[in-house]
Every structure is written in structure tokens, then in C-alpha cells.
């Protein structure tokens, strides 16, 4: 094979690898016209890309509402007092004895998903409800200060978020439970086991796993689930990750 021909062949392969298929095809046609048999390895199948967070760290603390389903809100990435989602709707299957009218709301996509989760649990013989969804900055301020007054600020900070640090304020998460039961009574129940095993099928993850306290900053909560979408929920669950680990934001 002539040096020119070899050079063209190498260039064709390089263009193909760089995704410049049209230019590679033109060179291939030239080689074929010169009587050169061109055979390339089969293209590798395209790897599906999971959704990733578009919000950069420069956007924290958030000043305005974001529609990013993967927005991270935790102890190091807070939201401001005026952060309110614009598509909050009331979830039908709520525990009427818990919270306020506002805490019975979630973002529309998440609200639809939690209704599907509750229906799926019912089909398997389990009765679930949503206890609290959206919490405003001021409502979270009231909760945290109540816990701190009763148990001390340090202990309260292990299970209750300070105002601005609660992802409840995003409208993407909720606490689930058994109607009429207390929150912590949900632990070690068949219903809690069902949620842990199946919530990903509806786009949710168990947000605060038992073995990830050093990452999430909170103790294990069997009841707190976060909507992230079907693909991401499956990936996070299969790989035993937290939202922080999936996003690669651990600081």
C-alpha cells in the first residue's frame, strides 16, 4: 500500500473516532475508487447518558427557584428564604393529622410520582400515605428550633435540617408513613422495607441511608424519599449511592 494511501486510511480512522463521519466517508470513497478495500471495526454502541445536574456550585446558595430535579440542598448547599417552587400541588393521599395545607404539597412531577408509589404499595398489600412534602423556610425554622429547644442544637442537627438546608423546601422530597402512625414508628416495618426496595421504580431514592451518615450529615431515615427521576433513581439504587455521590459534590 502506498504511503499516501496509508496516510489517508489513518486519517479516515482518526476522523471516525472524532465523530467527523462525513469527512471520513469522503476519504473512504476516495480509497475505494482507488481499489483499496476498506474495512473498519464495528462502531461501539452508544452509551446512554444519564441526566446530570446543570446547576453549578456558583449558584449556591440559590437565590431563585430552579426546575432542576437534581438540585442539591444540604448542610453545605442551602437555599434562601424566598426559594419557592412555582408548580406545587396538593397530594391526595396525605395523613390529615400531620402538618399544614402547604406541607401536603409537592412539585407536580413528584406529586404524581408519589401517588403512583402509594398505589403500587396498595397493590402489594401495603397502606402508605405522604406525611409532609414541601416545607417553607419559616416552617423549617420553627421545626428546627423546636427540636433544638427540647433536645439541644447539636442533637437536633443530626436529624432535622436548619432553615435553608432542608430539601423539603425544594418540593422534590417527602416523608412517607402509615396513616395515623408516628414518624419513627415507620422504622423496621414491612412498609418501610417495601419503600426501600421499590421506591426507585417510581423515581425516588432513600435519601438518608443507614451507612451514609458521614456523607449526608443525617441519621438513617426510612421515611424520607427524594424524587430524582426514573433513570437516576435506578442508577443510584443499584450502585448504593447518595445524591451527593452521584453528583460528585461531597464538599
For residues 50-73, one letter each, b for 16 or more C-beta atoms within 10 angstroms of the residue's C-beta and e for the rest, the string is: eeebebeeeebebeebbebbbbbb
Strands of 204-206's sheet, edge to edge? 129-132, 173-177, 224-227, 204-206
Whether 58 is catalytic is no
Residue written as grid cell 408548580:
87
Q: Which of 173, 203, 163, 61 shows the shortest CA–CA distance to 107?
A: 173
C-alpha cell at 97: 393529622
CB 103 within 8 A of CB 139: yes
| Catalytic choice (37, 221, 238, 245) | 221
Query: What does the alpha-carbon distance between residue 64 and residue 135 come to, in Å, rounded to a whole number?
Result: 16
- List 88's β-bridge partners, or say none: 107
| Span between the terminal Cα atoms of the chain, in Å | 56
Catalytic residues: 221
Amino acid at each position: 500500500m502506498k504511503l499516501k494511501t496509508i496516510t489517508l486510511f489513518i486519517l479516515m480512522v482518526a476522523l471516525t473516532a472524532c465523530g467527523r463521519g462525513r469527512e471520513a466517508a469522503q476519504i473512504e470513497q476516495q480509497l475505494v475508487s482507488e481499489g483499496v478495500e476498506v474495512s473498519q471495526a464495528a462502531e461501539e454502541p452508544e452509551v446512554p447518558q444519564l441526566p446530570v445536574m446543570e446547576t453549578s456550585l456558583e449558584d449556591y446558595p440559590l437565590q431563585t427557584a430552579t426546575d432542576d430535579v437534581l438540585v442539591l440542598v444540604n448542610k453545605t448547599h442551602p437555599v434562601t428564604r424566598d426559594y419557592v417552587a412555582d408548580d406545587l400541588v396538593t397530594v391526595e393521599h396525605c395523613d390529615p393529622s400531620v402538618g399544614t395545607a402547604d406541607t401536603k404539597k409537592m412539585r407536580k412531577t413528584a406529586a404524581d410520582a408519589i401517588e403512583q408509589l402509594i398505589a403500587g404499595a396498595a397493590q402489594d398489600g401495603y397502606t402508605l400515605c405522604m406525611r409532609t412534602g414541601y416545607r417553607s423556610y419559616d416552617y423549617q425554622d420553627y421545626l428546627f428550633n423546636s427540636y433544638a429547644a427540647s433536645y439541644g442544637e447539636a442533637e437536633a442537627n443530626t436529624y432535622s435540617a436548619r432553615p435553608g438546608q432542608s430539601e423539603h423546601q425544594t418540593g422534590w422530597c417527602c416523608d412517607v408513613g402509615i396513616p395515623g402512625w408516628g414518624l419513627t414508628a415507620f422504622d423496621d416495618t414491612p412498609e418501610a422495607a417495601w419503600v426501600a426496595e421499590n421506591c426507585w421504580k417510581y423515581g425516588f431514592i432513600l435519601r438518608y441511608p443507614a451507612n451514609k451518615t458521614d456523607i449526608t450529615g443525617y441519621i438513617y431515615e426510612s421515611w424520607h424519599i427524594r424524587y430524582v427521576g426514573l433513570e437516576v433513581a435506578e442508577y443510584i439504587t443499584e450502585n448504593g449511592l447518595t445524591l451527593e455521590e452521584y453528583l460528585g459534590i461531597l464538599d
